[in-house]
Amino acid sequence: MSNNNVFAIATRRSPLALAQAHMVQAMVAAALGEAETAAEMVAPIRDYVSSGDRNLAGSLAEIGGKGLFTKEIEDALLSGNARFAVHSMKDMPAISPPGLVTAAIPRREDPRDVFLSPTSDSPWNLPQGAKIGTASVRRLAQTLGRRPDLKPVTLRGNVGTRLDKLDRGDADGTFLALAGLRRLGLECHATYIMPPEEMLPAVGQGALCVQAREDDDEARAIVARFNCPETEICVAVERAFLAGLDGSCRTPIAGLATITGGEVHFRGELLSLDGQERFRTERNFPYTANAIEEAASHGAEAATEIRDRAGKAFFDALGGSAG
């Protein structure tokens, strides 16, 4: 496993993944003290087609859930073909594969979801029985909870593909992460930014994960320079909450931590697939940089509370492993 001097960055080939990899490429060049014009030389981008991208039929849950979008890229790291990998934090499995670590979490982009529709200014104002296009069990449950009459349709594919499908009338409305739209320069397509009170985002949404080999001290030291301690704490709370509840994407789970005035504020929720059952909790605690484990313990404790309140029957009904 040779560490060549080039800091190659592995990524998926989708337009969003490439945009994110280019952002990290610029950060790596800056951390190395290189001019932006040298970025492609010092940190070339190597793109891979993931099994998640190859299997676009069916829902994520059916195909096999999280990990599908990360495996090929992680293999590139482990084999030494790349020094870094860039992932959406939202797509990361609960547990890091052996030999790899999250080496940096850059400052988070806006974590909120957006609603997109050619005809309606909000999901709540869609006509009776309208088609809502989403493959996300979380977004669907959160929507059906308030609008059980809406008809779910699958609208998978890259962000651009989904916008095309929406224009063609495959659905009357859909949801996307604001972060992704922004990174693609497509924010103008957003119809309505969902307040977290109306749609709590997915755990990790809007954050990036810069992964490296655990034993690659040189690579880890470089990206540590653009790690964002606040984002790291927020992601630690949210991911501990997710891990404590299930961690798969078959369960409608949402979680968002924010920091204001030196306080971490966390909200988490678990829903039934039809959104009719909903368990919410909150935690507030002082922000301390680097207190990752303490932050994670708040998320884990919030998960235990929700798990107890929901009860075994709730998880059995989901058919999940979170019994």
Ligand X SMILES: NCc1[nH]cc(CCC(=O)O)c1CC(=O)O
Question: Which residues face 284 on adjacent strands?
Answer: 265
Nearer Cβ to ligand X (180/244): 180
- 179 binds ligand X per the rule CB under 6 A: yes
Taking CA atoms, 269 is separated from 49, 123, 196, 201, 240, in Å, by 33, 20, 11, 10, 13
Nearer Cβ to ligand X (180/275): 180
- 91 binds ligand X per the rule CB under 6 A: yes
Rounded to 5°, angle at Cα 194 from 284 and 130: 135
In the window 149-168, what residues touch ligand X (CB under 6 A)?
A: none
Question: Of 47, 75, 91, 172, which one is the catalytic site residue?
Answer: 91
Nearer Cβ to ligand X (18/177): 177
- 238 binds ligand X per the rule CB under 6 A: no
How many other C-beta atoms can be found within 10 angstroms of the C-beta atom of residue 72?
A: 20
Identify which range of 83-91, 145-153, 211-219, 251-259 contacts ligand X by CB under 6 A: 83-91
Element (H, E) at 62: helix 60-63
DSSP state letter for 275: S
Rounded to 5°, angle at Cα 193 from 148 and 135: 50
- 176 binds ligand X per the rule CB under 6 A: yes
Nearer Cβ to ligand X (166/310): 166
d(CA 109, CA 65): 24
Binder to ligand X among 205, 211, 231, 281 (CB under 6 A)?
A: 205
User: Is 91 part of the annotated catalytic residue set?
Assistant: yes
Nearer Cβ to ligand X (205/231): 205
Binder to ligand X among 11, 50, 70, 88 (CB under 6 A)?
A: 88
Tokens 């891990």 belong to residue: 243
Rg (CA), the chain: 20
As measured in angstroms, the least distance from the Cβ of 258 to ligand X is 15
Contact set with ligand X (CB under 6 A): 88, 90-91, 176-177, 179-180, 205-206
Residues involved in catalysis: 91
